Structure 1
Amino acid sequence: MEMNVWNTPLRYQLLAEVGKGSYGSVYKARELGGNQRLLAVKKFNIHGDTSKTGIPNFVIREVALLRRMEHFNHPNIVRLLDACAEPAGRSLDLTLVLEYIDQDLSTYLSKAPPSGLSRDCIKDLMSQLLRGLDFLHTNLVLHRDLKPENVLVSSGGAVKIADFGLARIHSFNIALTPGVVTLWYRAPEVLLSSVYMSSVDMWSAGCIFAELFLLRPLFQGYTEVQQLQKIFEVIGFPSEEDWPSDSPIPYSAWAPAIICFNLLDNLQPDEKELLSQCLTFRPSCRISAAKALAHPLFSNH
């Protein structure tokens, strides 16, 4: 049961385990032969009789989307180099081989000096992230789990969006899952169980943009209600007209006594404007990745 991206399977040696999840592990590996480049190997062990239950949707989505995007070889999307699935008794071993990037954005920020990142560095990281998002959205792909742990940063400063386990191809009749995007980067419409579109990724990008300045997450709620509260403390409470009409949570259920805190008062006008356009409550008014790239902030970059 092979699904190799290449005609010849990629041969490699595992060097070290670098991450572990509920379905398997991620390893640092080295290619055997060739130029002996470093690789990231994701190994999934899918228990149960997959002939009856099938391969989990998140695995199928990740492989399918990475294979779809591989043709374009976009510099800001992590590359899938090989994929294969092999029966292991009644379970299934699935292996994805990806290009290796030495750290994610969370690790990168943890190494930043106390004075923070330079403005040029922030602009460079953000413009690369937006170029990756613009490519995804142009191809109707919603990432749906954009966070620092899923944004890779190479030692040379190259940014690559990774982990497409929650990504979806957007269509008009898509059944959208409410429990997407890690809580701290989750858009208000997702928190309010409303319909959403590619603008959910732009909200997450706005949260990451703020984090590049703060060196910590902007909204750190521990429940969905608390997360909304923290959002409203920064962007203000929305008008009833902007409240999503399809949300099961009525506008009248909120009687907030919210004081707005300006947590990013040291931002320059262009930076503040772009951040506010990413963190706009109403999804249809939120800036797109393409328009964000044309923002004056990046005009001299």
Structure 2
Amino acid sequence: MEDFGDFRDLDVIGNGAYGVVYRARDQTNGSYVALKKILISITSDGIPMTTLREISLLKNLDSYNHPHIVKLLDVIHRRADRDNSLELYLVFEYLERDLADYMSHLPPSAVIPTHQIQRLSRELLNGIDFLHSHRIIHRDLKPSNLLISSQGTLKIADFGLSKSYDFDMRLTSIVVTLWYRSPEVLLSQSYNSAVDIWSAGCIIAEMYAKKALFPGSSEANQLGKIFELTGKPLLEDFPNCSVDLDQFLMTIPCEPRQLIPRLCDYANDLLKKMLNLLPQNRLSASACLLHPYFHQELL
């Protein structure tokens, strides 16, 4: 057990992008916080941009106090034991569990009620819409990065891979955990905020199915599973593609409900438009929120 100023760490609760996350107690008021520990090697260029980017983005977002974005409470730093290293601790509000943990603890025969999936999906897309309206792309949306409060509210967390974006970025393809990675990233194409919509569609589908929609074992296997839903793309759909598309069998597109039978008509249509193979044809987060799926009463 260690002390970090006013905070004492209790246990490890997860591993985020570029850091280990601890549950800790604020010794001034007894409340719990989440401490994200980042060990930084200080070079001649100073602190790495990935770290500065996350702090800058979160501090900027906190001023809006959005209900579906995790709050950054404090930043603590101290010298590490090794030379030219710095220990940085991002102090976040503590939420009891994440969506992956919630789903994994459901009884085998239980399902998430449809009205609850609708509410969590709305909160997820509200958070994404807020990020995109501020020109921020998350780039690593997955169930373990969606925290759930004791009141059941969803909040987006872990901004270690987030970036302020320009249209059609051509950046490293190592963004987004494989099962939630969009086809354009897998195909090493330029990409934009539509990658978050793809990830969100995978997450919503997973809430209905209680299992990952595209549980690929490699990038090629991941693409194969995606093409089973969307159909194999044409070469002109992804010009200068770095992947040999001839290795994949020609497939006929199918409806999401063929993979997830419990989808209602509106849920099927929403996921079809979020999981469109072509990023330019996917709905934006704000358009998703206007979809009839969110304006029906579900049990």
| Separation of aligned partners in 2, 1:170 and 1:116 | 37
For structure 1, which segment, 14-23 or 155-164, has the greater mean C-alpha deviation from structure 2 after superposition?
14-23
Partner amino acid, structure 1, of 2:222: Q
RMSD across aligned C-alpha pairs, in angstroms? 2.2
Partner amino acid, structure 1, of 2:95: I
Contact 2:187-2:241 at 8 Å conserved across structures: yes
Q: 5 Å matches for 1:132-281?
A: 132-172=127-167, 174-241=169-236, 243-249=237-243, 253-254=246-247, 256-258=249-251, 262-281=258-277
- The structural deviation recorded for 1:17 is 2.3
- Do structure 1's residue 295 and structure 2's residue 279 form an aligned pair? no
The residue that corresponds to 1:5 in the other structure is none
Contact 2:125-2:288 at 8 Å conserved across structures: yes
- The structural deviation recorded for 1:120 is 0.3
The SS at the match of 2:259 is coil
- Provide TM-score, normalisation by structure 2: 0.89
**Once the two structures are aligned, what percentage of the paired residues are identical?**
43
- The structural deviation recorded for 1:228 is 0.7
Instruction: Decide whether aligned partners of structure 1 residues 83 and 74 sit closer, same or farther in structure 2, where only a CA change above 3 A counts.
Output: same
| Separation of aligned partners in 1, 2:181 and 2:151 | 29
| Separation of aligned partners in 1, 2:62 and 2:16 | 25
- Do structure 1's residue 15 and structure 2's residue 10 form an aligned pair? yes
| Separation of aligned partners in 1, 2:188 and 2:176 | 12
Specify which of 96, 100, 108 is matched with residue 102 of structure 1. Answer: 96
- Do structure 1's residue 43 and structure 2's residue 64 form an aligned pair? no
Q: Which runs of 5+ in 2 are unaligned?
A: none
Instruction: Decide whether aligned partners of structure 1 residues 123 and 172 sit closer, same or farther in structure 2, where only a CA change above 3 A counts.
Output: closer
The residue that corresponds to 2:47 in the other structure is 55
The residue that corresponds to 2:67 in the other structure is 75
- The structural deviation recorded for 1:192 is 0.5
Q: Which runs of 5+ in 1 are unaligned?
A: 1-8
Instruction: Decide whether aligned partners of structure 1 residues 45 and 143 sit closer, same or farther in structure 2, where only a CA change above 3 A counts.
Output: same
- The structural deviation recorded for 1:224 is 1.1
Q: 1:31-62 CA distances to partner (integer Å, 9 max, x unpaired)?
A: 2224x321001122224xx1425323322221
Q: 1:93-145 CA distances to partner (integer Å, 9 max, x unpaired)?
A: 11100000111110011122423111001001100000000000000000001
- Provide TM-score, normalisation by structure 1: 0.89
Across the two proteins, how many residue pairs are aligned to each other? 288
Instruction: Decide whether aligned partners of structure 1 residues 128 and 86 sit closer, same or farther in structure 2, where only a CA change above 3 A counts.
Output: same
Instruction: Decide whether aligned partners of structure 1 residues 234 and 82 sit closer, same or farther in structure 2, where only a CA change above 3 A counts.
Output: same
Contact 2:230-2:252 at 8 Å conserved across structures: no
| Separation of aligned partners in 1, 2:28 and 2:13 | 23
Instruction: Decide whether aligned partners of structure 1 residues 199 and 260 sit closer, same or farther in structure 2, where only a CA change above 3 A counts.
Output: closer
The SS at the match of 2:88 is strand
| Separation of aligned partners in 2, 1:290 and 1:254 | 36
- The structural deviation recorded for 1:258 is 3.3
